[in-house]
Amino acid sequence: MDLSPELLAAIEEARGQRHETRRATVPALEARLYTPIPCLDHGFVRVIDYMGDDGAVVQAARVSYGKGTKTTRDDRGLIRYLMRHRHTTPFEMCELKLHVKLPIFVARQWIRHRTANVNEYSARYSVLDREFYMPRPEDLAVQSRNNKQGRGQTLDADQAAQVLSLLRADAMQTYDTYSALMDRFDLARELARMDLTLNFYTQWYWKIDLHNLLHFLSLRMHPHAQHEIRVYGDAIGEVVRDWVPATWEAFEDYRLGGAFLSRQALTCLRRMLDGEAVSQEDSGLSRREWREFQRVLRGGAEGK
């Protein structure tokens, strides 16, 4: 991860500031403020600001449920109840603002989550840096035969080297063309950028509430998510674990480590518990649903 002198100076200045406040703060997240978490080869995630903590979730819930008790144990129990029963509104009371540097193709996946406030670096106004994503050799794989949007077997060392050479040459050539269009022809930046490949890096500020952030993470930390966006999901997960530990514990237990079963799958499970031998043919489940159901029973929760 390479940081420009300007960004390093801005980070040092921001981390040197102190602000007196009466609002709730989280020491573990305060320690993370402004500091980049490396992602991929040139990318990062860094916390710019946040609002609320586990207590804010509890506070919002008790507007409806009454004051009740206020011990840490009861707060944890309430958060787990909310997560378990998908009472999501109290989690919307917390917000997180991130600065993210990421490849354009990852950004195009990411922006599908339309529940955040986003302000992206403008290549109409500014010139993009000569920074592009190059996968590690072990992350290069053939198209999966079973999953139309996934990877299969890893390329051998010779094939991986050839692929990386082609990718690097294309990115270098397109950036040279990008520069020439602006320097030699004075072409507008908004037009010159169209020649760049999708592995070039962009940046944005991304602000989202905790409920929608957890939904984002449930999808983007999943083993079936594309590796490159999963790297960012894992990095943000570390941040959320520090920020709202009780909420994160409940999220791990009920969302990441839990499983959703259809009515037909629950019926099969009840029949099995009654000692009945159930097969796919008499389960009422399709072959794919049956495989997913078996995977859940064997300890691998199935999600999207």
Q: What is the pLDDT of residue 18?
A: 86
Q: Average pLDDT of the chain?
A: 92
- Strands 117-120 and 95-103, sheet pairing: unpaired
Q: What is the pLDDT of residue 179?
A: 97
Output the CA torsion sign for 94, 84, 252, 73: positive
The b/e string for 78-117 (b: 16+ C-beta within 10 A; e otherwise) is bbbebbeeeeeebbbbbbbebbbbbbbbbbebbeebeebe
Q: What is the pLDDT of residues 185-225, one digit of tens each?
A: 999 999 999 999 999 999 999 999 999 999 999 999 998 89
pLDDT above 80 for 74 = yes
Least confident of 15-19, 96-100, 136-140, 290-294: 15-19
**pLDDT tier, 253 (very low <50, low <70, confident <90, very high otherwise):** very high
pLDDT above 60 for 140 = yes
Contacts of 61 (CB under 8 A, 6+ apart): 78, 82, 87, 90
Strand order through the sheet with 43-51: 37-39, 43-51, 95-103, 201-209, 117-120
Mean pLDDT of 149-171: 94
Q: Bigger pLDDT: 24 or 150?
A: 24
In a shared domain, residues 38 and 111 = yes
61, 106, 138, 130: which is closest to 226 by C-alpha?
Answer: 106
Asked whether 236 and 219 are in contact (CB, 8 A), the reply is: no
In a shared domain, residues 189 and 215 = no
Q: What is the pLDDT of residue 154?
A: 94
Structure tokens at 214: 């957890």
In a shared domain, residues 99 and 225 = yes
Q: What is the pLDDT of residue 66?
A: 55
Least confident of 100-104, 106-110, 149-153, 212-216: 149-153
Write phi, then psi, for 21 (nearest 5 degrees).
-150, 155
Q: Is 220 considered catalytic here?
A: yes
In a shared domain, residues 45 and 94 = yes
Asked whether 120 and 107 are in contact (CB, 8 A), the reply is: yes
Structural domain contains residue 304: no
In a shared domain, residues 40 and 119 = yes
In a shared domain, residues 234 and 97 = yes
Q: What is the pLDDT of residue 13?
A: 87
What is the C-alpha separation between 75 and 80, in angstroms, rounded?
Answer: 9
Mean pLDDT of 227-250: 98
Give the DSSP H/E element, type plus range, for residue 153: strand 151-154
Q: What is the pLDDT of residue 304?
A: 39
Q: How many domains does the chain have?
A: 3
Name the active-site residue from 220, 263, 270, 288: 220
Contacts of 118 (CB under 8 A, 6+ apart): 111, 204, 205, 206, 207
In a shared domain, residues 128 and 66 = yes
Q: What is the pLDDT of residue 300?
A: 59
Q: Bigger pLDDT: 74 or 268?
A: 268
Q: What is the pLDDT of residues 36-63, one digit of tens each?
A: 999 999 999 999 999 999 999 999 998 8
pLDDT above 60 for 69 = no
106, 135, 141: which is closest to 230 by C-alpha?
Answer: 106
Residue 107 maps to which CATH number?
Answer: 3.30.1360.170
254, 253, 245, 259: which is closest to 303 by C-alpha?
Answer: 259
Structural domain contains residue 303: no
Structural domain span for residue 25: 5-132+200-256
Q: What is the pLDDT of residue 19?
A: 86
Question: The whole model's pTM is what?
Answer: 0.90
DSSP string, 69-97: ---HHHHHHHHHHHHHTT--GGGGG-EEE
Q: What is the pLDDT of residue 303?
A: 41
What is the C-alpha separation between 35 and 8, in angstroms, rounded?
Answer: 9
In a shared domain, residues 78 and 139 = no
Taking the CA atoms of the chain, what radius of gyration do you get in angstroms?
A: 23
Asked whether 92 and 209 are in contact (CB, 8 A), the reply is: yes
Q: What is the pLDDT of residue 147?
A: 76
Structural domain contains residue 170: yes
In a shared domain, residues 161 and 232 = no
Q: What is the pLDDT of residue 64?
A: 61
Q: What is the pLDDT of residue 182?
A: 97
Q: What is the pLDDT of residue 72?
A: 64
In a shared domain, residues 279 and 292 = yes
Among 153, 183, 198, the domain-final residue is 198
Residue located via tokens 């270098």:
172
